[in-house]
Amino acid sequence: MVYTGTHDNAPSREWYEELPDDQRANLWRYLNSPPADGQSVAWRLLRLAWSSMAALAIVPLQDLLNLGAEARMNIPGRAEGNWAWRCTEDLLSGPYLQSLLDLTINSNRRSTQPPNQSFVELKS
């Protein structure tokens, strides 16, 4: 399994924006990509995850939507102010979902199996 983050760490864009310059340079070298801004880093990492050989690739919704510090879910050890971010319906109607579908198809991660029957029953 490969993933870009969890509910306990910063979204990828926030993480990148807080990196020192030398660590940013290391990231771009690892990605074999010319340096870019924080606006593109989450999707660069998402594409890397989707292109891996791992059976599962998981990305937090905040990375899919290219959100930063404003969408942080949880800071471990902090008792107050966690779990306040909410995804709104308008966020789910943007171009990111089509981009994810395109990436999923192009990276051969689209399942050819029918949906799990128990999942279909839960949705009914």
Considering only CA atoms, which of 3, 98, 75, 74 is closest in space to residue 42?
3
What is the number of other CB atoms lying within 10 angstroms of the CB of residue 15?
A: 20
Per-residue pLDDT reduced to its tens digit, 44-91: 999 999 999 999 999 999 999 999 989 888 888 888 888 888 888 888
Q: What is the pTM of this model?
A: 0.80
Q: List, for residues 72-82, the tens digit of each pLDDT value.
A: 888 888 888 88
Task: Show Cβ contacts of residue 25 under 8 Å, excluding neighbours closer than 6 positions.
Answer: 35
**Quick one: CA torsion of 45, 93, 39, 66, rounded to 10 degrees?**
-50
Strands 2-3 and 57-58: parallel
Q: Report the domain count for the chain.
A: 1
Question: Which range of residues forms the domain containing residue 108?
Answer: 2-123
